[in-house]
A = this chain, B = another copy of it.
Amino acid sequence: MSNKERSNYIHSVDAGLIRFNRRTKNVEILIIKREKAPYEGQWALPGIVINGDIPDTSIEMALSRLLHSSKVGLEPKYMEQVETVGNGTRDPRCWSSSTFYLALIDDTYVIEGEKKFVNLNDVAGDKFPLAFDHNLLVRKIRDRLLSKSLYSSLPLLTLPDLFTTTDAIEVFSSVLDRPVIKTSMRQRLLKMAESGYVTETQEKVKPAMGRPQSLYQNLKRTEIYLFDRCFEQ
Contacts and interface: CB of A to CB of B under 8 A. Distances in A.
Nearest to A60: B87
Contacts of A58: 85-88
B11 A8 contact: no
A99 interface: yes
Stoichiometry, as copies per complex, reads: 2
Interface in A77-91: 81, 83-89
A59 B81 contact: no
A51 interface: yes
A113 B84 CA distance: 32
B51 A9 contact: yes
Given A56-B88, A57-B89, A97-B99, 9 more contacts: A5-B5, A9-B9, A9-B11, A11-B86, A11-B97, A50-B86, A57-B88, A58-B88, A228-B230
Interface of A: 1, 5-6, 8-9, 11, 50-51, 55-59, 81, 83-89, 95, 97, 99, 151, 226, 228-230, 232
30 contacts: A1-B8, A1-B9, A5-B5, A5-B8, A6-B8, A9-B9, A9-B51, A11-B11, A11-B86, A11-B97, A50-B97, A51-B88, A51-B95, A56-B88, A57-B87, A58-B85, A58-B86, A59-B84, A59-B86, A81-B83, A84-B84, A84-B99, A86-B99, A97-B97, A97-B99, A151-B230, A226-B230, A228-B230, A228-B232, A229-B230
